[in-house]
Structure 1
Amino acid sequence: MHSLAQRLDQEGTKKYKQAFFLALLTAAVIFLPYVIMDGGYFTFYGDFNVQQIPFYKLAHEAVRSGDIFWNWYTDLGVNFIGSYSFYLLMSPFFWLTFIFPTSFVPFLMAPLLVLKFACISLTGYAFISRFVKNQYFAVVGGLLYAFSGFGIYNIFFNHFHEVMVFFPLLLIALEEFVLHDRRGVFALAVAANALINYWFFIGEVVFTVLYFFVRMTSPSFRVSLKRFFWLFFEAVLGMGLALFIFLPSVLAIMGNPRTGADSLLSGWNLWLYSHPQRYPGIIQALFFPPDLPPAPNFFPDHGGKWSSLSAWLPLFSMSGVLAYVLSVKKSWLKKILCISLVMALVPGLNALFILLNNSYYARWFYMPVLLMALASAKALDNPAIDFMRGVKWTGVIMLLIAVPVALTPQKVDDQWRIGLYKYIPEFWAYILMAAVCFVLCYLLMRHYRKDPRFVAFALSGVMVVSSCFGIIYLGMGRFNSGSNEAIIEKSLKGRYQLQMPDDVFYRTDVYEGLSNQGMFWHLPNIQAFHSIVPVSLMKFYPEVGVKRDVSSKPDAALYALRGLLSVKYLFSEQGKEEEPNMPGFVKSDMQLGFDIYENKAFVPMGFAYEHYIDEETFETCTENKRSNLLMRALLLTDEQIEKYGDLLSPLPGHNLSGLGTQDYLSDCKDRQSMSCVSFEKDNRGFTAVSNLQKENLVFFSVPYDEGWSATVNGEPVEIEKVDIGFMAVRVPAGECDIRFNYMTPGLLPGLCVSIGSAAVLVLYLLLVRRRRVRQSAAALSAPRPGEIPAIDIYDEEVLRSPDNLDAPDASAQDASPEGGASPAETTRDTGAQGGGTRDDGSQADGPKGTGSQDAGTKDTSARADDPQDGGPAQEER
């Protein structure tokens, strides 16, 4: 097995280019028809349309303007770094967009996806190529990884592809450290993966630990206690390098109900899935193309919508994986594949990748998918493996899944029907696609495996199948999403056509409209579809009758929230059967096919109260009237009442009965009379000017967050968390300047640790280099050590039919796609090409060594020293 540097040095970049550009071409074929249909844009379905596109545009504009601390255009305001680091903030693909202006970003969505698929194939190839002799099969493996069901499925989410790009580098770095003593690379790989997506990184840590210990069962992969210490040191160092983003991200979700103790798996749920259909659904995900995320079809009640449940490999499906597993009796790869399947089937083990959260996700499947692609490549590469055995078993299992689902009768709405599936056209489309792949795979392996053009056929088959299914999959998504006019014409183009006043700060509302419509228009909006918002918001909304899980969608019946949250304009799409009926709103304009209503009872940001209520009084009020109550009085804790009871008086008990529409409008007038003279936001927070008749608490409907600090007339003041999730400060009578500044919690401490870790890494590498120079000098003056036998790539894999090991290599094993044998390939692993690193990390002699061999003959000697490292290739074994 070759180190990355030696592979590049010996073979050049030919195969790397092929892995990249073949995937680039395949992905371009998938996306280009829809880009042409959309006039340069690319729209798909669901979350992609209403999250990925506006998120990219919003984040691009925020970074360009330096507005990177508090973002006013996501829900009621969010910690920008904490909220967007999960989606895109540290993605190199996102940073590529800064070559272009913000208005051009929507046109980049498809090109970026094409580039991502190409990079997934590239890094997948870089990992797989370490374990196969014929590197063309590693190119096949890279394509399988990139265009797997997981890769195609998650076009829906878009930002999941970054982790597919960078995860193979983590395993490569681990291999380099153990086998070639390559120092510093593992720390950098850990840092890169932690930066790309902190949540996925948690699962990657679990899987990498599993990979490490299973890999150690291989004789060539041995780690001494000393080496393990340095590996752990680099892991910690890598975390330190990433802490400037990782720490703010983790702090931003601390206390989130979705990550709290109440959301942990427990009891029987640790051992058994509550949805019986999930078990066959997991198996089906291995053998058939993926369903659309919100529309599971084979097993519609498996309870895993949007869970990324797919691990299908194009063309080969599970044929290569089963061929490898069934043919090999002893192999670290077989062990980890079997362990991964068990973990997928046991809820508690599956949940380890998401910190035992009780929500079902299969978003870690890209990791075993990479190893499935490796197993397929090894099965293709090793002529001793009976590939047809895997093909036959794949066909049998596909029939065992498809026949019952297709032919079982069931009674639906008092009518009998045949089939357990939910969507008839999609089901038969999947069956047809799987059947075509099975037939092509059967013919390929049955009749062409020994053909000199076999590799070319395999590459072409994977590319054609991936392209066809990708086009079909995107087409199904677009068909189900309906017209894209709302996205392109009204939202993306509408951003630059909409004319709205900007004399004061205000929020907007969209009545039963497109998710994140306000974000598309770059208007602060109370309707938001975003998973990561301040914890204070997650706690506030349920208390006033608004469900807050992945989105904020206050119902029109909660009209008083519009006054509390300073909503001035309401948009309602023309043609709706019911117009919004909210007190205070009057139709004032029509733009982009929307009726625009102005709130005549608008209360500017920053206002005071005459009365307060305690928590007990608040709890006695019904949920649908609590927002009305909050327009009348400020909710304080008992401790706050003790501190500020001299400023406000308790709300008289009889006032709790008058919470109707007219009472609300009257309360709005009272709040207007005690509101700030001005309110202006900026990149670091906001400034307000008050002019109160007496000292009071001034309330701001800005989510409470630890990163806020405040001053009044230049003097620091304490920020109080009021109304469950918002902020208020004590302000004297008369004209006062109120200033709130925001600094992302954890950013500065994390940055200090990251800078320190970078310095330690540099020092560490210098010391390693110095040690190796000394060892190299000592090795030159010492007698040549005894030769160490080289280990072939397949020596550790004990096949079930040992006699097959003596079978001659098929000509296809060293064939290039153009046909004919590739000299570089036939000699690369024989020791005749300038020395190559074996699977055990030893160095095979080349022409300059004393034991070079003729092409096609296995090298039986190895050098003990690694000239690239300036010292021994293996210090400990």
Structure 2
Amino acid sequence: MKKTVFLFVIASVAVSLAAHSFFLYEWAHDRYMTGNGDGLAQMIIFKSFLFEQYKQGNFFYSYSFGLGGGIYSQLGYYFTTSFVFIASFAAVFLMQLLHLAGDADPLFWAQAAVFISVIKLSLIILAAAYALNGMVKNKLAAFTGAVLYGTSVIYFRHTVFWEFFSDAMLWLPLLVAGAEKVIREKRTGLFITACSLTLINNFYFAYINLIFIAIYVIFRWLIRLDPEKEAPRWKQFKMFAASCLISFGISAVSFVPAVYGFLNNLRPPYDQSVAVYDLTDNILFSSRIVLLPAVFMLFLFAFSFYKNKTFRLFASISVLLVLLHYSPLAASAFNGFSAPQNRFEYLLAFTIGGAAAAGMTELKNIRRKEMIWSILLVLLIYIAVIWRKDLDLSLMQNWSIVVLLFLTIAIFTAAGFQYKKSQLFLHVCILLSSVLVANTYQKYILSESSGIKNVSKSYLTSNEYNGEEQRRLLNNIRKDDNGDPYTRVDWMNGVRNNTPLMQDFNGFSAYSSILNRDLLLFYWEDLQIDMGRESVSRYASMGDRANLYSLLYGKYYMTEKNNAAIVPYGFIKTDESEHYTVYKNKYTLPFIRTARTVFTEKDLADAPVLAREHAMLEGIVLENGDNGKEQPPSIPDLMKQMKLKTEGASYHNGVLDVTAENGGIDLIPEGGLPKEGDYYVGFYLKSLAKDQFFNLRVNDYVTSRKSNQSIYKTGVYDLTIRVPKTDKISIRLPKGKYQLDHLRLHQEDYQLLKKAAAQKAPAADLDWQNNQVSIIFDNQNGDRYMVLPVPYEKGWEVTVNGKTQTVQKANYAFIGFPIEKGKNDIRLVYYPPYFKATLAVTVISLIIGIWYGRRRKKLGS
């Protein structure tokens, strides 16, 4: 047994290294196994960020993540509880202690990606080989089937673009092996362990894996592999139900906060029709998601193989999953009934590996006539696909044909000689073809077609990504600011919203699939802050609005020199380099603010966004407060004083028809210009084209809007744009028709901001350590509330002078709480939502799981 395990480990590592040959070669030439989209924008940045947080013992909250956020709830979808990342963290941390590794920055994680992938793929092959060997009782066949699974193209697609996606492939075989233990041996220990691991690791892929296990168990009830030993179906159901409940309990401490974060996210409902079938993907030659191995196709038409129940099981599920692959409706179901996403096809890769493993044990019984018919049928299918007029044969596709012929010859050889003499050759052919397809896919589909070849050391250290020139200016800001740990800097490198995490400063932007619902509403609806790029998974900047920067402790603004025209009001130039300029806010407000005047969201519901800004400057806006006691600030609408003129367009009944390349309307003040300040121009804007991405320009300010077909559009069409004082406000759009109405215009002279900034800052001592904040404050003015520029989020608890107070949502998205007159000893602490309760559930469930697993083991034996 030890020798077998050792050989399996060595073989798995060898195959994994061979399957990564292309990316290992690229690594040697300073090009990395990381996607140039989310790979660079999220994966390596989040790993670098979480590494530093964990290293500091901070597991729950970070002020630096966007405007601040819970690590469990908002990054649980990524790496927070990923066992692969935790193991990587431990290894790198140990290497740092031994002085074998330097800083674990994004460049480091890009360089390490291929080695982490090699280890992960080795483990996936080992896990799959273990699961399949328990079913086919043939070590070589099980290993070959496991290689087909592990080296499938979807593994490399997921690993390169969204690294944590492929972690799910590690837990799937263990779930299947655990299910077989329940069915055949009435033992639940492995299933509970595998189920708990997948639930803790990632709630999203746990959803997909558990759907598959449900399908698998149903098929197992229909196809009983060993009827004499298998438990009755009702007994199996009870064991599965108990095991799942225990597993959910064990995972509660991580699963519940992560799911809460998902539910507290804000995504507009997917309002487009979802087709039942879409047959355009070519899974024999050119699919980027799944390529059916030729050996699987050959076995599928070897009808005597279906006498083998294990083959029948895996082949049947494979056919079902192939059909589901062609169904956008199924892709939507696997994506939580949202937009269709083809992320579940690794399930098909596993069942294909299982079918191949079972089929290879049946080769010794196949008749030549049957095999010839199988080969002819498969060749006819391939030829028919090749003859499709819309098929564009690339190098990747030609290699697939070569692999098919190679395997066909191998099958003929297996039939022409005795099985024992030819089986090793057959397995070698399949293993080599799997490695060949994997490396060809990496080169032609990932590296060249998808631009991964551009992810290089030179790019990652350039100004386009993380340049030394930018970092030098940020260091100058820290020196100028005397190292204030709470200062926020508005700087984003291009469209990389996670620049603050990458360059280690507190910013105003974030890019994550899960964000704070209240923050997104703050941007989209409450304050209508344009972020320069419409997206459901991003926020950025403060729309260049000075009031908001001051309220949120935004002291600095850094931009490329060609964007100097849109610098917020009240920011003065303090530093510059060859390509960038830094500005400092003259009117920054204190980090800790107190208020006596209370407005409510209801009172301000019909007020313009500028009035809401003024309310936050004058006092505090609460979700629920003293209704009716404070009147909303009065902000006049200046549209009646404006002359409207079209330019390269016609405008009637709220519809703007742009006929020029850059046409639209101009708003021209008739009552003269203000001495200083800004205009706030607001309007409803929606493209009437079915599918048109477009840029909106308002004077020097440019923002992009998604197509109506985009799954990432916000569904928000009420916009407010800040425009510095000017004699003409020009709204410009590309050719097309748009609904443009509800025009409104307000003027901001910033007198209220200056008044607020001139007030003496309240004397307060602040100490923030990880998830705990201590404030000592003497409330000499008798103010009623304290508000902090920290996002409101479930999990915050506060005590004032030892008394528990309620943390309230203040200023639409931030935390506020009542304070007492005189001295206030304030303690704020953040834990993931329901952390204490779920921790207790986890401990209790773990004890029950150990007891139940041992009990079933005794009863099973």
Q: Match of 1:204?
A: 209
Pairing 1:758–2:846 present: yes
**CA separation of 1:676/1:754 partners in 2, compared to 1, >3 Å: closer, same or farther?**
same
Q: Distance in 1 between matches of 2:166 and 2:196?
A: 17
**1:279 partner SS:** coil
Aligned with 2:297 (options 287, 300, 319): 319
- 1:736 is displaced (CA, Å) by 4.1
2:460 matches 1:487: yes
Residue 675 of structure 1: how far off its partner (Å): 4.8
Aligned-pair distance for 1:326? 9.3
* Equivalent in the alignment of 2:103: 103
47, 69, 87: which one aligns with 1:78: 69
How far, CA to CA, are the matches of 2:428 and 2:398 in structure 1?
24
Tell me which residue corresponds to 1:55. Answer: 46
Q: Say which is worse superposed, 209-218 or 600-609, in terms of deviation.
A: 600-609
1:584 aligns with one of 562, 570, 594: 570
Find out whether 1:378 has 2:369 as its counterpart.
no
Q: Aligned-pair distance for 1:635?
A: 6.6
Question: Which AA in structure 1 matches 2:524?
Answer: P
Where 2:291 maps in the other structure, the secondary structure is coil
Counterparts of 1:539-558 in structure 2 under 5 Å? 539-543=521-525, 544-545=527-528, 546=530, 547=534, 549-554=536-541, 556-558=543-545
TM-score when normalising by structure 1: 0.73
Q: Which residue of 2 aligns with 1:369?
A: 349
Partner SS for 2:340: coil
Residue 121 (structure 2) pairs with residue 117 (structure 1): yes
The answer as to 2:433 corresponding to 1:461 is yes
2:12 maps to which residue?
20
Pairing 1:812-851 to 2, within 5 Å after superposition: none
**Paired letter, 1:368:** L
TM-score, normalised to structure 2's length?
A: 0.74
| Matched residue SS, 1:216 | helix
Runs of 5+ consecutive residues of structure 2 not aligned to the other structure = 97-101, 639-676, 680-723, 725-746
Residue 740 of structure 1: how far off its partner (Å): 2.0
| Deviation at residue 685 of structure 1 after TM alignment | 3.2
| 1:663 and 2:660 aligned | no
Distance 1:212 1:593 in 2: 61
Q: Deviations over 1:428-477 (max 9, x none)?
A: 34433433333433444345665453322322222233223223344223
Is 1:603–2:592 an aligned residue pair? no
The higher relative CO (CA closer than 8 Å, separation ≥ 6) is in 1
- 2: distance between equivalents of 1:579 and 1:62? 37
Kept in 2: contact 1:16–1:126 (CA 8 A): no
**Counterpart of 2:540 in structure 1: which amino acid?**
K
SS in 2 for 1:336: helix
User: Structure 1 CA distance, aligned partners of 2:855 and 2:252?
Assistant: 24
1:558/1:627 contact within 8 Å kept: no
Task: Name the SS for the 2:590 alignment partner.
Answer: coil
* Aligned mate of 1:438, from 381, 399, 404: 404
**Quick one: which of 822, 835, 842 aligns to 1:747?**
835
Q: Any idea what SS the aligned residue of 1:159 has?
A: helix
Matched, 1:144 2:148: yes
Counterpart of 1:640, as a letter, is G
CA distance in 2 between partners of 1:390 and 1:557 (Å): 67
The question of whether the paired residues in 1 share the 8 Å contact of 2:600 and 2:625 is answered with: no
Structure 1 position 20, deviation (Å): 1.6
The answer to whether the aligner puts 1:538 opposite 2:520 as a matched pair is: yes
- Aligned partner (choices 673, 680, 686) of residue 773 of structure 2: 686
CA contact (8 A) 1:351 1:358 kept: yes
Shift of 1:173: 0.8
Instruction: Write the distance in 2 (CA, Å) between the matches of 1:124 and 1:481.
Output: 33
The CA distance in 1 between the partners of 2:218 and 2:584, in whole Å, is 64
The answer as to whether partners of 1:677 and 1:688 remain within 8 angstroms in 2 is no
Pick which of 626-635 and 248-257 moved more: 626-635
Taking the aligned partners of 1:399 and 1:562, their CA distance within structure 2 comes to 64
User: How far off its partner does 1:202 sit?
Assistant: 1.4
Corresponding position of 1:162: 167
Question: Tell me, what secondary structure is at the counterpart of 2:572?
Answer: strand
Secondary structure of residue in 2 paired with 1:166? helix
Determine the structure 2 residue equivalent to 1:46: 37
Task: Say whether residues 1:235 and 2:235 are aligned partners.
Answer: no
Aligned to 1:257, the other structure's residue is in SS state coil
Provide the identity percentage: 19
Native 8 Å contact 2:295 2:356 kept in 1: no
Q: CA deviation at 1:48?
A: 0.8
How far did residue 63 of structure 1 move?
1.1
1:324 to 1:484, Cα distance in 2 relative to 1, 3 A: farther
Task: Pick closer, same or farther for the CA change 1:59–1:373 going to 2, 3 Å.
Answer: same
Preserved contact between residue 790 and residue 814 of structure 2 (Cα < 8 Å): yes
Q: Which secondary structure state, in structure 1, belongs to the residue aligned with residue 352 of structure 2? A: helix
Q: Which amino acid aligns with 1:666?
A: Q
Q: Is the 8 A contact 1:611 1:650 kept in 2?
A: no
Aligned twin of 1:846? none
Q: CA deviation at 1:492?
A: 6.3
Residues of 2 paired with 1:144 and 1:369: CA distance? 7
- 1:556–1:580 Cα contact (<8 Å) kept: no
After superposition, the Cα gap between the structure-2 partners of 1:38 and 1:325, relative to the gap in structure 1 and judged at 3 Å, is farther
Q: For the residues of structure 2 that align with 1:436 and 1:442, how far apart are their CA atoms? A: 10
SS at match of 2:748: helix
For residues 802 and 621 of structure 2, what CA distance do their matches in structure 1 show?
A: 25
Instruction: Give the aligned partner of residue 360 of structure 1.
Output: 340
Q: Work out whether 1:571 is the aligned partner of 2:581.
A: no
Confirm or deny: 8 A CA contact 1:322 1:394 kept in the other structure: no
Other-structure match for 1:527:
509
SS at match of 2:790: coil
1:167 maps to amino acid: L
Which residue type is aligned with residue 754 of structure 2? K
SS of the equivalent of 1:702 reads: strand
CA distance in 2, matches of 1:46, 1:627: 37
Contact 2:786-2:817 within 8 A present in 1 as well:
yes
Residues 736 and 467 (structure 1 numbering): CA distance in 2 closer, same or farther, change over 3 Å?
A: same
* Distance (whole Å) between structure 2 residues aligned to residue 629 and residue 83 of structure 1: 31
Say if 1:687 and 1:738, in contact at 8 Å, map to a contact too: yes
Q: Which moved more, 1:433-442 or 1:657-666?
A: 657-666
Conserved 8 A contact 1:689-1:738:
yes
Q: C-alpha distance in 2, partners of 1:319/1:61? A: 48
Aligned residue pairs: how many? 708
Structure 2 counterpart of 1:860 = none
Secondary structure of the residue aligned to 2:164 is: coil
Question: In 2, are the aligned partners of 1:635 and 1:724 still within 8 Å (CA)?
Answer: no
Answer with 392-401 or 433-442: which moved more: 392-401
**1:349, CA displacement in angstroms?**
4.2
- Paired AA for residue 524 in structure 1: N
Shift of 1:320: 4.4
Deviation, structure 1 residue 345 = 4.2
Instruction: Measure the CA separation in 2 of the matches of 1:42 and 1:340.
Output: 29
Structure 2 distance, partners of 1:695, 1:754, is 43
Partner of residue 470, structure 1 = 442
SS at match of 2:829: strand
Residue 836 of structure 1 is matched in structure 2 by none
* 8 A Cα contact 1:608 1:674, kept in partner: no
Which amino acid in 1 is paired with 2:488? R
**Cα deviations by residue, 1:478-536 (Å, 9 ceiling, x for unpaired):** 45757764533556685986514222511222243533111111212211111222222
Deviation at 1:318, TM superposition (A): 5.4
Larger relative strand fraction:
2
- 1:702-761 deviations in whole A, cap 9, x for unaligned? 221121112334443322212332221223456644432112112221111111122223
Cα RMSD for the two superposed structures: 3.5
Which residue is 1:841 aligned to? none
What is the aligned counterpart of 2:320 among 331, 336, 339? 339
- The AA in structure 1 aligned to 2:770 is N
Q: Partner amino acid for 1:379?
A: G
